[in-house]
Structure 1
């Protein structure tokens, strides 16, 4: 899969924030998906003892969720964990994995924020630009925003808002 190079990765805190601020105007907030045949999921795990990241991308065919492609990569990182700048730590390993896949997904799901981010440039939003593919952030925790209580029913949800803008949804995936 082709990766667009919109900036360099070896930057400090201020450089990373400047990149996010510059790129955020390029985010497209409408449904651009013309067909939905292939969906990808991407995630990163860490080695707790060394500065090593493991990135994986899996592409599934809908509607049966058959795996049609998968790629993994291992890279060292020198960017520290900084809330709001996770992209600069995790994106390089994921982009290397995306370069290896042969089946182009129609949509990508990322384990991380999308536009529910202080600068509207979480991992999913940022990599969606670099991969020129519609992307969705599926984070396990709320980084910013407010929402109404979600009913204890699988599939229930509430809009996630920030300064009156809908930036995501809080979804209950199972009953507790």
Structure 2
């Protein structure tokens, strides 16, 4: 402590320490010290009552979802994401497409122990509510398929393997989507 009082003060910008509502001023001062702004001067003591704002502060642009949803409303995730997109927000939750805009692909189920020949891949997916879906069989992005005469066979645009082009030995069974979770 005596070393700090005798240590020459380095010039620095003043740090304004403000505690958020419900956060003691001591915690705000501690975070200022942790941020590398040095120990607060003895005269810079802040009390919680002086630092707590009396009125809510309007935020022009915030990453807090609560600032974008009116109080008392509980919008669906689709409504939240569409609202963020309407405001031009494309980060955080706004980086995602709304649920249901890209439905899962339906195709042939691929058992995990089935050895895939070259040109075929397992495609893993999840539902909008986070449930894993059984892997489906797809063509690899750079794969080209040829018939016995050497003519190229056109592949489906979505690259999902139809039953007639499945590799030999694969059980031909289409996946089924799990039902939505309750309460969602």
**Length-normalised TM-score, structure 1:** 0.20
**Length-normalised TM-score, structure 2:** 0.19
> Which has more radius of gyration?
2
More strand by share: 1
Q: Which has the higher contact order (CA 8 A, sep 6+)?
A: 1
